[in-house]
Amino acid sequence: MNQLKKLLSLFLLFTFCFLLFSPVTAKAAWRDPVRAQHAIVASQSPFAAKIGSDVMKKGGNAIDAAVAVAIAMAVTYPEAGNLGGGGFMLIRFSDGRTTSIDYREMAPKAANRDVFVDKDGNLIKGEGSSTVGYRASGVPGTPAGLEYAFKKYGSGKIKWTDLIEPSRLIAQNGFVLTNRLANLFISYKGNLEKYEDSKKIFLNNGNYFKEGDSLKQPELAQTLARIQQFGAKGFYEGKTAQMIADDMKAHNGLITLEDLKNYKVREREPLKGTYRGYPIITMPPPSSGGIVMLQTLAMLEKFDIRKMGWASSEKYHVLVEALRRSFADRAEYMGDPDFTTVPLTQLLDKTYLEKRAATINLSKASSSQEVRAGEVQIKEGMETTHFTVIDKNGTIVTNTYTINDLYGSGVTAKGTGVLLNDEMDDFAARPGKPNLFGLIQGEKNKVEPGKRPLSSMTPTIVLRKDGTPWFALGARGGPRIINAVLQTVINMIDHDMNIQQAIDAPRIHHQWLPDEIMWEPFGISDDTRKALESLGHKFTERPNYVAQATGIAIEEKTGVRLGAIDARGDGEAIGY
Task: Please list the residues that pair with 35 across neighbouring strands.
Answer: 562
Q: Is the dihedral of CA 8, 9, 14, 17 positive or negative?
A: positive
Q: How far apart are CA 214 and CA 229, in angstroms?
A: 27
Q: How far apart are CA 549 and CA 566, in angstroms?
A: 5
Element (H, E) at 343: none
How many Cβ atoms sit within 10 Å of the Cβ of residue 351?
Answer: 8
Neighbour order of strands in the sheet with 40-43: 266-268, 98-103, 86-92, 396-404, 383-390, 40-43, 572-575
Residue 130 Cα to chain centre, angstroms: 19
Q: How far apart are CA 216 and CA 335, in angstroms?
A: 39
Question: Which residues, other chains included, contact 329 with Cβ-Cβ below 8 Å and sequence gap of 6+?
Answer: 291, 292, 295, 347, 373, 374, 376
93, 488, 502 from 397: Cα distances, Å: 8, 18, 20
Q: What is the DSSP letter of 494?
A: T
How many Cβ atoms sit within 10 Å of the Cβ of residue 55?
Answer: 29
Q: How far apart are CA 428 and CA 137, in angstroms?
A: 14
- The answer to whether 551 and 471 have CB atoms below 8 angstroms apart is yes
CA nearest to 335, candidates 346, 324, 344: 344
Would you call 76 a catalytic residue per the annotation?
no
Check 384, 385, 395, 528 and give the catalytic one. Answer: 384
CA nearest to 406, candidates 215, 166, 183: 183
Q: Which amino acid is at 301?
A: E
268, 337, 346 from 380: Cα distances, Å: 18, 11, 11
Task: Please list the residues that pair with 483 across neighbouring strands.
Answer: none
Positions marked catalytic: 384
